[in-house]
Every structure is written in structure tokens, then in C-alpha cells.
Structure 1
């Protein structure tokens, strides 16, 4: 059974904020009454009434915008706290990514974003940055796989020279480490879910390119090196097969 790694907090908070949006004038006036008290200085000259009313409306809107920003700020702290229950830091990042993305899309869809930007002009870009940050954190989970494809500990090859047993073993260990790490991550992360198709496809494509490029480069370096009598044991996957495995991450159809 797929788990979407959503918290109920954003759902409840967005519902509450959407209700405020429906009654924004009343909500703004109530906030103003708490700030200023119940006594308003209404001008006696009718010619001043229009400008005073407009000023009051703008003031109330700013108060409501500020209040909504505080709700969103507390919601973010709540999500950060809940994300710590996941021992896997990559899963924690996916959890935060899903929730931040949900909040941003909900704000945009309901036009709440216009009200938020009254006092927080960069609200939209801030959420986009949070989402990008979590994607970056998630991608770090692949470093333990990619490290096997680097030149670290790789022997220096001389054309025509025969490899020593130790040198052959280094290459074997690198292939085995990559294969085992790839299989483990794909098995685990296939059970995670990213409901937003656009985000899911973006993360898959980004990860495919990162891993595939590194794997192809490693295969190229080892192409003319005889390090084993059983190459099929270590060259288990073609680059296209690696890409297919990554393409199945976050498979919500299963």
C-alpha cells in the first residue's frame, strides 16, 4: 500500500485559511478590533469617508495577511518537527517536499497567495526555494551509490600492463558497491510516493541523469580493462536498465 507522506496539519491549516479568505473582510475587521479596540475614529465630513474607509480596508488586509503568515510560519515549524520522526533523512526530505509543495499549490489555487504577499512579497519564491532545498537534500541519499563510481582508490592503469590482484579487486568492489546500493535504494524508494506528477517526473529525470551520466563515465573508464573472468557478475546493468529502475521510483500506480 502506497504512503503519500502527508501530514494532516497542512490540510487542516489550508482549510482554515480558505475559510478566512471567504470572509476576509469580517476576519480583518475582527483582527483590527483586537489591535485598536472597538472605538474607531470615523470622520464626520462625508467627503473624508471614502478615503478613511479605504485606509481602514487596507489596514485590515495587512493585519489579516500578517496573521496568515504567522499561521504558515507555525505550520512550517510543525512540519519540521514531524519530519524528525523519520530515521531516513531522504524520506524526511520527501515528506517536507510533499507538504511544502501542497501548501504552495493550495495557496496559488485558492488565491490566498495574493493575500499573503501583502506583507510577505516573496512568499511564493520562498516556498519554491524550500521545495528545491528538499530535493537537494533527497539527492544526497544517492551519494553513497555514486561514490563507487568515482576515481577514488582507482588504480593507475598503464597501457598493456597486467593488473595486480589488489587492483582487480578494487574495480570488482566498486561495481558490487554500486549494484548493491542501486538495488537497495530503488527497493526502498519505490515504496515512497510523490503525488504531484510534475514534481515526481522532475525528480526522476534529474536523478536519472545524475546516476546515468556517472555510470556511463565509469563504464567507459573500465571498458578496456580486464579485471575479471566473469564480467556478467559485475556488469549486471546496462545504463538503460539503471534508468528504467530509477524511472520506477515513487511509483504511485503500484
Structure 2
């Protein structure tokens, strides 16, 4: 009788949690014109629910009826995180040399350095298992990044314009994302730092590869107009997201 009562109570809590989940998804539809806010709304609330369950006895109780309840919430959290990261795809579009390469002549590709097969994962959306040190692969990270000097290339006007457009497009989209997302809220400190860390791991790797490839190529006389950010600057800008004091 006691076991039946506990299972019945667990079933009741699960039904309440399911109703809350449906209500949250319904409420999130009010942000359908702002996908980044919609995904963060769902992420914040789902993360809070799981954390509350975990820090109380409720998780073990609900597990009597729904044994994989923790996995269910972890899966939802991953889903909402991926949805949020997808909102940065307009930024990634300009610097993703794997899926959106700059077309240079074969000789220029060889001299500027092509992307190795081991780099193919750089363009992927980040996940909680990714690991990356900001200084890995860089000649120096203190102060200003010092790129490795490639042989000077002679570019056609078309190639120069392509590179200009990519830097200009990245600058525009990155600045728009930083400006709008900086005011967004992620109340939980652990989640907030996790999102920023994964964004830095993902975007800095992509931008570092892009920056390293073109920073020493003579594609413009107005270098500072197009190369506005070093990899360090990209990371620093992301680190200020979701910060009321920023």
C-alpha cells in the first residue's frame, strides 16, 4: 500500500511537470519573432525545473514513476541550447571556411593554407562535451594575437572583394548579435557561464581559423576597416553577454 501511494504521488508530480512543460512551450510562442529569446526562455525555465528537482527529494520521487526523468530534462536542455546557438548562424556563415569556403585559385589555396580534415568539426554547433583552450593553436594570446606570417599572395580583384565581404559581413552580424544578446538574461550563474564558454569555444575556433588565414594577406589598404576584431576581442565580447553590468 505504501509503495502504491508513493508511485501514485510520483505520477501526480510527473503530470504536473508535464503540464508546466506544455505551458512553457505555449508561452514561448509569444517570442516566435525572436528565436533567440524563445530558446532562452525555454532553456532558463527547464534548467531551473531540473535544478530544483535535483536539489530536492522530488527527483528521486518522480523517478519511481518516470525512471528517466533526469534524461528527459537533460535532453530538453540540450535541444534549447542548440536552438539558441543556431541564432548565431548568420555570424558563422561568413567565417565558416569548411562549409562556406572562400574560392581562391588552387595555387593561392596551397600558399595560404587549406583547412585540414581535422578542422572539419570546428564548424559544428557546440555541445557540453566540447573542450577547447583559448590559447591552443595560437602563437601568443597575451596582449594581441600574433598570426603566423604566410607568403605574400597576389590576389585578383574578385578574390579581394570576396574576403572584404566576408569580414564586413562578420563584423555586422557579430556586432548585432552582441548588442542584442548582451541584454538577455540567464539568471543561473552556472548556466550563464556554460553558455558563454561554449559560445567562445565554438566561435573563437572558427574565427581564429578565418583570421589566421587572411590577416596577413594583402586584400585591402584599409585593414582596420575590415579586420576589426582579433580572436581575443571576439572572446572578450562574448564574455560580456548576459551581464547586467556590461
| Fold similarity call, TM over 0.5 | yes
**Cα offset for 1:153?**
5.6
Aligned mates of 2:75, 2:244 — CA distance in 1 = 25
TM-score scaled to structure 2, two decimals? Answer: 0.77
Q: d(CA) in 1 for partners of 2:70 and 2:101?
A: 45
Instruction: State the Cα distance separating 1:161 from its structure 2 match.
Output: 5.8
Rg (Cα) greater in structure: 1
Partners of 2:46 and 2:77 within 8 A in 1: yes
The structure where helix makes up a greater share of residues is: 1
Match of 1:121 among 55, 67, 81: 67
Aligned pair partner of 2:170 in 167, 174, 178:
178
For structure 1, list consecutive stretches of 5 or more residues without a partner in the other structure.
Answer: 1-55
CA offset digits 1:182-240 (Å, max 9, x no partner): 10001000010111111111110110111111111011211342110111110101111
2:14 corresponds, among 69, 83, 94, to: 69
8 Å contact from structure 1 (residues 204, 247) kept in 2: yes
Whether the 8 Å contact between 2:7 and 2:65 is mirrored in structure 1 is yes
Tell me the secondary structure at the aligned position of residue 110 of structure 1: coil
Distance in 1, Cα, partners of 2:84 & 2:204: 17
| TM-score (normalizing by structure 1) | 0.75
State the secondary structure of the residue aligned to 1:228. coil
The answer for the alignment partner of 1:98 in structure 2 is 44
Residues 10-68 of structure 1: per-residue CA shift (max 9 Å, x gap): xxxxxxxxxxxxxxxxxxxxxxxxxxxxxxxxxxxxxxxxxxxxxx1111111111111
Q: 2:191 aligns with which of 186, 190, 199?
A: 199
Which one of the candidate residues 202, 216, 231 is aligned to 1:239?
231
**What's the CA shift string for 1:85-138, capped at 9, x where partnerless?**
112112111100100011111112231112111101111121112112111111
Change beyond 3 A, Cα 1:178–1:164: same
Question: Where does residue 161 of structure 2 map in the other structure?
Answer: 169
Q: Report runs of 4+ in structure 1 exceeding 6 Å deviation.
A: none
* Map of 2:102 onto structure 1: 154
Partner of 1:111: 57
Residue 33 (structure 1) aligns with: none
Q: Is the 8 A contact 2:211 2:230 kept in 1?
A: no
Contact 1:145 1:181 in 2 (8 A): yes
Once residues 11 and 103 of structure 2 are traced to their aligned partners in structure 1, the CA distance between those partners, rounded to angstroms, is 61
Note the residue ranges of structure 2 that are not aligned, 5 or more in a row: 109-151
Q: Give distance in 1, aligned partners of 2:101 and 2:53.
A: 50
- Alignment size in residue pairs: 199
SS at match of 1:201: helix
